[in-house]
Amino acid sequence: EAGVAQSPRYKIIEKRQSVAFWCNPISGHATLYWYQQILGQGPKLLIQFQNNGVVDDSQLPKDRFSAERLKGVDSTLKIQPAKLEDSAVYLCASSHFREQYFGPGTRLTVT
Amino acid sequence: AQKITQTQPGMFVQEKEAVTLDCTYDTSDQSYGLFWYKQPSSGEMIFLIYQGSYDEQNATEGRYSLNFQKARKSANLVISASQLGDSAMYFCAMRERYGGSQGNLIFGKGTKLSVKP
């Protein structure tokens, strides 16, 4: 069974630029999550989808972050414009029932 | 208030010995789930073990066991017979609103485990 796929793995941008991350969850997993992991901390939820509907986006900075999950499968997370404090690893996870399965993450550096 | 507390930023253990990683949690829910994940330097979070709040027995998965003390609100991870490949960050996490796939995970700050040969 293929795992959660994410791309790109690494991205370096300048502040005020925009960036997009892509996630393909495990086949059949209805729930998809985006987490932000700042260096030295545990992951923090940004947004949770159930199929293509948003379940929880309470911690998503909506003035600059947006996410969508087209057709209830793939998802993209966008940051526009990026700030220095957005430098982090962005993890995508999916679940069918209990445990969440994570992708390898995208390491974003904002200079 | 922190929901998940991991008080050990770093731990060392000798290869083949057992090690306990501490985790305490805070919730007013009666139904919740506790998870441990391993994050190697490659960055991917790997699920290790799960304990439900109503589970009477401590969870075990191979060399991993969870020492669940509900009254103390602690869920310590025990790794037996440590291996060099166990060197990684370990995160304790909690899901409130037990059941199904609803409810995101709340993570602690992690413990960095280093296994010495």
Predicted pLDDT of residue A111? 97
For B41-93, the DSSP string reads TT---EEEEEEETT-SSPPEETTEEEEEETTTTEEEEEE-S--GGG-EEEEEE
Which position has the token pair 């966008």? A78
Query: CB–CB of B66/B78 below 8 Å?
Result: yes
Asked if the bond preceding A8 is cis, omega within 30° of 0, the reply is: yes
**Chain A nearest C-alpha distance from B110 (Å):** 6
The rounded Cα B76 to chain-centroid distance in angstroms is 6
A1 or B36, which is more confident? B36
Number of A to B CB contacts under 8 A, please give it.
Answer: 55
Worst-scoring range by mean pLDDT, A94-103, B24-33, B52-61, B93-102?
Answer: B93-102
Predicted pLDDT of residue B100? 47
**Chain B residues in contact with A95 (beta carbon < 8 A):** 101
In this predicted model, what pLDDT tens digit does every residue of B10-69 receive, in sequence order? 999 999 999 999 999 999 888 889 999 999 998 889 999 999 999 989 999 999 999 999
Cross-chain residue pair B35–A99, CB shorter than 8 Å:
yes
Picking from A9, A56, A102 by the largest number of B CB atoms within 10 A of its own CB, the best residue to mutate is A102
DSSP-derived 3-state class of residue A109: strand
For A32-90, the DSSP string reads EEEEEE-TTS--EEEEEEETTEEEE-TTS-TTTEEEE-GGGS-EEEEESS--GGG-EEE
CA distance A49 to A29: 11
Predicted pLDDT of residue B99? 43
In this predicted model, what pLDDT tens digit does every residue of A4-61 receive, in sequence order? 999 999 999 999 999 999 999 999 999 999 999 999 999 999 999 998 899 889 999 9
Nearest CA in chain B to A90: B43
What count of other Cβ atoms lies within 10 Å of the Cβ of residue B83?
11
Helix, strand, coil percentages in chain B from 3-state DSSP, rounded to 5: 5, 50, 50
